[in-house]
Amino acid sequence: MRNMAIGVDSLLAVLEDPAPEENWAKAEPVKGDHIRVRRIGGLYYHHGIYVSDDEVISFAGDDDYNPVDWWDTEIQATSFEQFRQGGEIEVRKYTEKEAESLCDVDDTIAFARACLGNKDYDLLFHNCEHFANACKLGVYRSQQTENLLLGDALTKAIQCLWDEDARRQWFTEAWEDLKAQVQDKLRRDKEKEDKDEGEGD
């Protein structure tokens, strides 16, 4: 059984052996894919396991449009549209070496579903990326966390603060991401309102 907890020894191993660069592609996901969507101009990425357009399994809060709703978060099954919130989906691609360790589709989905209801979310040590990698590779790692712990994220943040072009690009992408989320929420709220009115007739 794959482990859904990280200890001090695991953390030290991460720091001593950084994860290799990951490959992502903008593509239509298929059953069992590890997918992600950019949030707030790349400030972070939200990860999950795609099962179908009706089922994506990931950590999600009650308010899925609140980027800091982490204290009331659990592994849930949502629709694909709810997961992406108007954003552009990327699919994880694996090297030949990584492919040798991939869990098959049925095992990936079975493990993801077995974790439904898990509320042990931790931004650094038990986040949506840890979960998705555990499902696909049986490896409990998060490149976002490792970049933060190893200082790579801080370096990029400082560069963004002092580089006008980088800063302008981040603001543009953040605005596009937030606008897409708001438009998606308005669309889904309108669909729900129309459905409720139809059922009331």
| Sequence letter at residue 144 | Q
Q: What is the mean pLDDT of residues 39-59?
A: 91
Query: Is there a domain that residue 184 lies in?
Result: no
Q: What is the mean pLDDT of residues 143-157?
A: 66
Report the C-alpha gap between 85 and 187 in whole angstroms.
10
Query: Is there a domain that residue 2 lies in?
Result: no
Number of domains observed in the structure of the chain: 1
The boundaries of the domain holding residue 106 are: 8-157
- Higher model confidence: residue 184 or residue 25? 25
Contacts of 150 (CB under 8 A, 6+ apart): 15, 18
Query: Is there a domain that residue 171 lies in?
Result: no
pLDDT value of residue 49: 98
